[in-house]
Structure 1
C-alpha cells in the first residue's frame, strides 16, 4: 500500500465559474498541483533532477460542487506502478461535511529529464511513496 499525501485548501473567488461553483479547470489544476507537491516532497534531489512526470490521461468523477469559502481536503496516493506508468488517485472532500466532491485517476508516465524518453518506475521510486 502506498502512503497518502494530503493538504487542505480554501475556495477563493478566482476558483469559481459562472455558476459560482469551483471551475472544472481549477480541479484539474489542483489534481496536478498535489501530484507535483507529493513528488517534490518525497523524491531525493538526484531522482527529482533526473526524471520528470507527464500526464497520459485523466479520469475525473465530479460528485458534488464546492463553493466560495469551502474548505477542501485533498488526498492523493499511488494506486499502482508498472513499467513507466504510475496510476495516481486524488480525492477531494468537503472538510466540514466530509462529502466526496471529486475522485480522479491519472496515468502518469515517468520520463528521463534529459532524453525525455519513458523510463521504468524503479523500486527506489516506488519505495519513496510507501
Structure 2
C-alpha cells in the first residue's frame, strides 16, 4: 500500500493541562494527514464531485508527546469495501521511534451533490497501491 508521511513539531497550543499533547489535537492531526494524503495523491479530476467523511475512529494512545517533540506521522489505506475505506495512521516520536498513537478510521465516500455513499471504484483504489 502507498503510504504518506509528514513531521509535526509540538507547539504550546497543542498541549493540555498536563503539558502533553491534547487528545483532541491527535484527532485533528489524524484528519489532517488523511486529507493531505488524498489531496496530494489523487488527481484533481478524481477528487471533483466526491468527499470523504469519518464513520468511525478507533484511537490507541500509547505514549505522550511534549513541547518541542517532533512527531513522524504515517498513514496508509488498509482496506476498502463498498463505500468504506479503512485508513491507518501511526505517530512516532521522531527521535526515539516510540509509537505514540495508532488509529484505524473508517472513511465513507460520498457523492458531493447528493451526500449519499458511493462505491469506491477500482480506479480510486489503485491510486493508493504501490507498484
Matched positions, count? 129
Which structure 1 residue ranges, 5 or more long, are not aligned?
none
Q: Deviations over 1:32-74 (max 9, x none)?
A: 0000000000111122111100000000000000000000000
Partner of 1:92: 91
Q: Give distance in 2, aligned partners of 1:44 and 1:68.
A: 36
The alpha-carbon deviation at position 10 of structure 1 amounts to 0.4
**What is the 5 A alignment of 1:116-127?**
116-127=115-126
* Map of 1:10 onto structure 2: 9
Structure 1 length normalisation: TM-score? 0.98
Give matches, 1:43-122, under 5 Å: 43-122=42-121
User: What root-mean-square deviation, in Å, do the aligned CA atoms of Structure 1 and Structure 2 show?
Assistant: 0.5
Per the alignment, in what secondary structure is the counterpart of residue 88 of structure 1? strand
Any idea what the Cα deviations from partners look like across 1:76-97, whole Å, max 9, x if unmatched?
Answer: 0000000000000000000000
TM-score (norm 2): 0.97
